[in-house]
Amino acid sequence: MKWFLWALLACGLTACVTAKEAVVEKGAVEKLGAEKPVSQAAPKEVHRLHIEDLMRYSSRFLYMGAQTALQEQHRMLALQFLEALNQKLKLSKDDEEKWSIEPRLQLVQLWLQNERLDESKTLLKSLLAHVPLAQSEQKEDVLRLYTMYARVLVAQRQYADALDELTRLLSVSPDFLPARRLQIALFMETKRWELAHIAIQTAIQRHDAAALRKLDANVFVHEKKYAEALISLQQMQRLAPNDANVPLLQSEIALKQGHEKEAKRYLKTFLTSHPDDLQVKNKLGALYIRLGETSQAIQLYQELASQMPERAEIASALGVLFYQQKQIKQAVKYFERAYELEPKGQGHAFYLAASLEWLGEKKQARSLYQEVPEGDGLWVESQLRLAGMDFVEKNFDQVQQNMLALVKDFPDESHAWILLSSSYLNQRKYQELLDYTQGGVMFKKPSPRLMLNRAIALEHFKRYDDVEATLKQVLKFYPKDTEALNFLGYTYAEQGVKLGEAEAYIQRALTLKPKDGYYLDSLAWVYYQQGNYQQAIQTQRQSLVLVSDDATMQEHLGDMLWKHGEHEAAVKQWQLALTLKPENPKSLHHKVKHGL
């Protein structure tokens, strides 16, 4: 269901319960007498009571208890009070009390939010049978009752029935705006734009209102008729010059049209006459961020922070802005403020941890990453950061334990697979790498780093066909991946096969990274396998200018010199390789003594 329809279905309960309405209808109240006032009742104690226990209280007590619970955001507690009140009213011998509408409307509102649609429908139908629309005399509570019934039908996706109910209701009371708005929202939901415009114009002709002009603009926006939408907003501004929705919607339309300067102008113009409007100011700050105008965004959010010092999200926004500017100490200051205000706020612990990690405060950063709750959108990233810290500290077993758990629940998290495979690779646990990272290659476009790590493990077992297939899969999705190009070329060269293809792959890698010594080493090895020793030596010496401390590359030059007939120079080269901690010193010692 679209946002605008749900917004009408789930309107804030506080809008239904004003101070003036916080009484039960005449005849439905008793004095509290010796009953304990709701404000002094312990919510947890009441929450444990069954509906039969609550029904021992008076109707007034239950109703006022529901209002207090709603004001304090205890919706489940309010629901219990209202359900008990509903049952109590059903048993009342006072006819006016028995058919009280207001508490039932609130009860259905809560049921709607909990998707208890059948109960809502049954209760409303019983009330509607008692108060026929034709006899309503346009009483507002009855009109609200019929509108609520239409909302329940909408929630059940019975759009045609809902529209029928609204048409009947509006024929009796054409100026009842809640019903008109729901009717328009239904036309929008079913993409009947022309009918939506007709309904809006019908209402405007009877009584022009800013809310109707706003709806008209929304319909035009959905039709992508932006010029018409702006005209509707001008009319809305005429009716409600102080309504911040006008510049906010104007700005959104300008952005949809790609007019970024115009979007800013709408917001800034409104702020000249309404400098304290926090909603518009916040929107302008977000627009500055979107446009990369960081200094203006910082200035504006600092103003907001002074006006709303208790708003954690503003402090967090400032932290992000300073972080992007690499002013990390300033970022920490604002992230600490956000964390202080809302320790469990979305992202606050994570951003503070990331900033402290940047500053080298690893211990504090680790503690904060561990505090990020699973419900936070950055929980997965916090687990990856923790694993990254463990990886740097060579706690590979811990990395493996945590990443195996993570990919079980988040199998498409490529960074987890990379950390997992890299930890096995660093421990030279090649078989475990292949066994435990198989799930990461099942996606249509797997991570190239994961695939390269698997290719290294496959090469260790000399499974060259699998190495070739793995690297070609990488190049299918990432044709400019230089590591895969070089790796595949070197794999062919090492086997002495497909040397023409090997040279082509490595030359492609060098075109993209001409100063990479390892790629030049691979190319030199192709020339060596082709018997072109002079070119191999020349290319290998170029590679060693770039990378001089690699034992294998020094050994390669020795092999090339030997084959070229320069035996004394070859032996010196092998001896140099022995000083660089080679993987197979025994083989090198043999070469020094016996040659190739």
The phi and psi torsions of 78 (rounded to 5 degrees) equal -60, -40
- 81-129 pLDDT tens trace: 999 999 999 998 888 889 999 999 999 999 999 999 999 999 999 999 9
Domain termination site, one of 547, 567, 587:
547
Percent of the chain past pLDDT 90, that is, above it, reads 76
Which structural domain range is residue 491 located in?
A: 480-547
Task: Indicate whether 543 belongs to any domain.
Answer: yes
Question: Whole-angstrom Cα distance, residue 290 to residue 66?
Answer: 43
Same domain, 490 and 542: yes
Tell me, what CATH number does 536's domain have?
A: 1.25.40.10
**pLDDT above 70: residue 457:** yes
Q: Provide the pLDDT for residue 54.
A: 86
User: Once rounded to an integer, what is the mean pLDDT over residues 212-225?
Assistant: 93
Same domain, 540 and 578: no
Q: Provide the pLDDT for residue 50.
A: 75
User: Once rounded to an integer, what is the mean pLDDT over residues 137-161?
Assistant: 91
Same domain, 596 and 542: no
Contacts of 21 (CB under 8 A, 6+ apart): 102
Q: Provide the pLDDT for residue 22.
A: 28
Same domain, 524 and 569: no
Same domain, 536 and 504: yes
Question: Whole-angstrom Cα distance, residue 484 to residue 494?
Answer: 15
Task: Indicate whether 516 belongs to any domain.
Answer: yes
Q: What's the whole-number average pLDDT of the chain?
A: 88
Q: Provide the pLDDT for residue 44.
A: 41
Question: Whole-angstrom Cα distance, residue 529 to residue 231?
Answer: 76
Of 10-24, 220-234, 514-528, the one with minimum mean pLDDT is 10-24
User: Once rounded to an integer, what is the mean pLDDT over residues 292-311?
Assistant: 91
Q: Provide the pLDDT for residue 539.
A: 97
437 — pLDDT class (breaks 50, 70, 90): very high
Q: Residue holding tokens 């916040």?
A: 282
User: Once rounded to an integer, what is the mean pLDDT over residues 336-345?
Assistant: 93
327 — pLDDT class (breaks 50, 70, 90): very high
Q: Provide the pLDDT for residue 25.
A: 30
User: Once rounded to an integer, what is the mean pLDDT over residues 489-517?
Assistant: 97
Q: Provide the pLDDT for residue 248.
A: 96
Same domain, 538 and 568: no
Task: Indicate whether 378 belongs to any domain.
Answer: no
Task: Indicate whether 569 belongs to any domain.
Answer: yes
**Residue from 217, 226, 298 nearest 263 by CA:** 226
Question: Whole-angstrom Cα distance, residue 354 to residue 319?
Answer: 11
- 7-41 pLDDT tens trace: 233 333 223 322 222 222 323 222 222 333 343 34
47 — pLDDT class (breaks 50, 70, 90): very low
Contacts of 222 (CB under 8 A, 6+ apart): 188, 193
- 238-289 pLDDT tens trace: 999 999 999 999 999 999 999 999 999 999 999 999 998 889 998 998 899 8
User: Once rounded to an integer, what is the mean pLDDT over residues 368-383?
Assistant: 93
* Structure tokens that stand for 65 in this block: 């208890």
375 — pLDDT class (breaks 50, 70, 90): confident
* Count of H-run helices and E-run strands, the chain: 35, 0
* Structure tokens that stand for 487 in this block: 């790796």
Same domain, 528 and 565: no
Task: Indicate whether 585 belongs to any domain.
Answer: yes
- Amino acid making up residue 345: G
Task: Indicate whether 140 belongs to any domain.
Answer: no
Question: Whole-angstrom Cα distance, residue 395 to residue 273?
Answer: 59
How many Cβ atoms from other residues are within 10 Å of residue 93's Cβ? 6
User: How many domains are contained in the chain?
Assistant: 2
Domain termination site, one of 507, 531, 547:
547
Task: Indicate whether 115 belongs to any domain.
Answer: no
Task: Indicate whether 583 belongs to any domain.
Answer: yes
DSSP for 144-162, written as a single string: HHHHHHHHHHHHTT-HHHH
Contacts of 16 (CB under 8 A, 6+ apart): 105, 106, 109
Question: Whole-angstrom Cα distance, residue 578 to residue 276?
Answer: 74
Percent of the chain past pLDDT 70, that is, above it, reads 91
Question: Whole-angstrom Cα distance, residue 218 to residue 228?
Answer: 10
Query: What 3-state class would DSSP assign to 330?
Result: helix
**pTM of model > 0.75:** no
Question: Whole-angstrom Cα distance, residue 107 to residue 66?
Answer: 10
User: Once rounded to an integer, what is the mean pLDDT over residues 509-532?
Assistant: 97
* Structure tokens that stand for 193 in this block: 């734009």
**pLDDT above 60: residue 2:** no
Same domain, 487 and 536: yes
Higher pLDDT, 33 or 1: 1
